[in-house]
Structure 1
Amino acid sequence: MADAEFIAQPPGPCCFVGTIHQGTPRGKIEKILNVPTYIARPAEDKSNGHVVFYFPDVWGLSNNASLLMDGFADAGYLTLGMDYFNGDPISKYRPSKNDPLPEGFDLGAWRTKHSTFAAENVPKWAAAVREKFGSERTKYACVGYCFGAPYVCNMLATDHVSAGAFAHPTFLKEENFTPIKHPLLLSCAEHDHAFNTEARRKAIDVLQRDKKVYHLQLFYGVGHGFATKADLDDPYQLWCKDQSLKGIIDWFDLWLVRS
């Protein structure tokens, strides 16, 4: 049953399914403020000098997430992904995509533990990234998938980023949207139990009421997780995943590179 307190519902079973993507990530994991961080660096001749903060879904710094971050790096952005699960993502409890969560697994406790840590430490981590990798000309963007959506909204309420995006979000309330000061792209699935048609319309109503700058992508026929865990053997799912990434990159280019 949906919790009326939320526009986008907390992570649940629809967040745990998906396909593990094949490929070899090019980035490296380093510690920033003692938090594991995946760092994808663009080629020197392609770098635009700007930075993307990446906030992962419940699979954490998975192979899928690493390959997505490499995609942002290919577009010229130094991209850093924070492991706010500290090595304790949902995939730890599901060795393969077909495995159920263990009997007795306390999802509520898991969500509370990691959302509490993230809420406290994302701002500190982002500040440390700006200190280590920023310069006078550096601009910042942020992207979040599922669990990562609230941290995008939080950053967009500050003057530390120029634009943000999220895909198939969870854990969002009206109060996450109202303080936003910078452009937001919403990349959404038609069939998303966590962010269904009614929820999307409510979110857009809030953004329009408060005259926020936003753009909505809505992909027919796909479900929650399409942008990170699509079945890449299905040409349409692959296209939706790729178009979501391309759309977010173009959004960032607009506000960080071309503005």
Structure 2
Amino acid sequence: MAEPEVATKAPESDAAEVSTASIVPGDTPAQTGASMGGLGEHCVKDKPTPFGVGPSGEMTQLGGIDVYVSKPADYPHAPSKLLLFLTGATGLHSENNQIQADRFAKEGYLVVLPDMFSDDPLPGSATYEEEKDPSIIEQIKMRAAETAKSFLIDMWLARQTPEKVLPILHKVMDAAKDEFADAVANGGGIYSVGYCFGGRMTLLLAGEKPDTVMWGQQVKDEEAGVVKKGPYIKAGAIAHATLVTREDFEGTKSPLAFVCVENDQLFSDEIRDHGEKHLKENNVECEFKTYSGVPHGFGVAGEYEDPKIKAAQAEAFDQMLAWLEAH
């Protein structure tokens, strides 16, 4: 069986690639520089937190899984809708991810951000810090450190499969249906937004998939025949997804909006075009919008100096919010 095409280069080609200058001043856009095992720099390190802003939600547990929950100010006195917020590799404890979740809460959504990685945090994840004008020696040291880090990220990423991650999400969603039954009922189901790694998970939750271990289900009697389950979300919005394969689009049923980055090696034109064609041919409501001059990962909260990136951030959020509101 042929290997499914993934929207990234092979790790060995990434390691051999020579880094090039960014087209965005002071940043590394998706179309330049090496990726780390299928993840971009913005997938594994946070930009500085927006000035004067901090998380407003709370840490708790659902289904035995650590989650960050952000609620509208007038909940439960006013009706809300449940939104499952799936992050990039920086995960649950990233303040930028939490702030981004808070933004949806301010728009009336009860947001649940789960620890998808289940106490297996990304190696070396930290707030993004960039040294200006490093010396040649420092550049060599940083290159060596990045090579070692890339290997660790490859190993970490190999563990984050649908077989591991989807059961965690099902536990959280099942518990949320009980804990926040009013929000689920008010929205007619669960909504989801996914960024980077979380984008692929949102795509998978939007589909009808075989009830097998590969798609995060329990071990079944193989002689019982193939049973399909899903979709698990009412609608979803996905920003700069990573690691998406052609197969991931199969069985998609729920309406989906995609925030894409121009020339993104982590969500290639070929994968994007295939996905859009497949969804439309199968009468799945979808929207694809491509943003130029922005780095992969731009849609998550973070401080950028370039006003064009800031404007694109706001536009992408509005696109995702409008899609959820329309469904």
> Smaller-chain TM-score range?
0.7 to 0.9
**Structure 2 alignment gaps of length 5 or more:** 9-36, 131-141, 208-229
Query: Which of 156, 161, 179 lines up with 2:233 in the alignment?
Result: 161
- Closer, same or farther: CA 240–109 of 1 in aligned 2, 3 Å: same
Matches within 5 A, 1:113-152: 113-115=159-161, 116-135=163-182, 136-139=185-188, 140-152=190-202
Task: Describe the SS at the equivalent of 2:148.
Answer: coil
Does the C-alpha gap of structure 1 residues 102 and 85 become closer, same or farther in structure 2, counting only changes over 3 Å? farther
> Residue in 1 aligned with 2:47?
19
Match of 1:63 in 2: 95
Separation in 1, partners of 2:310, 2:194: 19
- After TM superposition, which residue ranges in structure 1, 4 or more long, deviate above 6 angstroms? none
Greater C-alpha radius of gyration: 2
Alignment partner of 2:59: what SS? strand
Output the CA distance in 1 between the equivalents of 2:258 and 2:311. 17
Are 1:230 and 1:238, in contact at CA under 8 Å, matched by a contact in 2?
Answer: no
The residue that corresponds to 1:51 in the other structure is 82
Residue-by-residue CA offset, 1:95-153 (whole Å, 9 max, x unaligned): 64447557264223201223343133212221111121123434321011111122212
| Conservation of the 8 A alpha-carbon contact between 1:7 and 1:203 | no
- Cα displacement (A) at 1:71: 0.5
- Render the CA deviation track for 1:202-235: whole Å, top value 9, x for unaligned: 2212112222110112111112111116542221
* Sequence identity (%): 23
CA RMSD of aligned residues (A): 2.5
| Structure 1 residue runs without a partner (length 5+) | none
Cα distance in 2, alignment partners of residues 102 and 88 from structure 1: 21
Instruction: Give the deviation of 1:8 after TM superposition.
Output: 2.7
* Further displaced range: 179-188 or 100-109: 100-109
Distance between the aligned counterparts of 1:159 and 1:197, measured in 2?
Answer: 26
Give the CA deviation at 1:79: 0.3
TM (norm. structure 2) is: 0.70
Conserved 8 A contact 1:231-1:237: no
Is structure 2 residue 72 aligned with structure 1 residue 42? yes
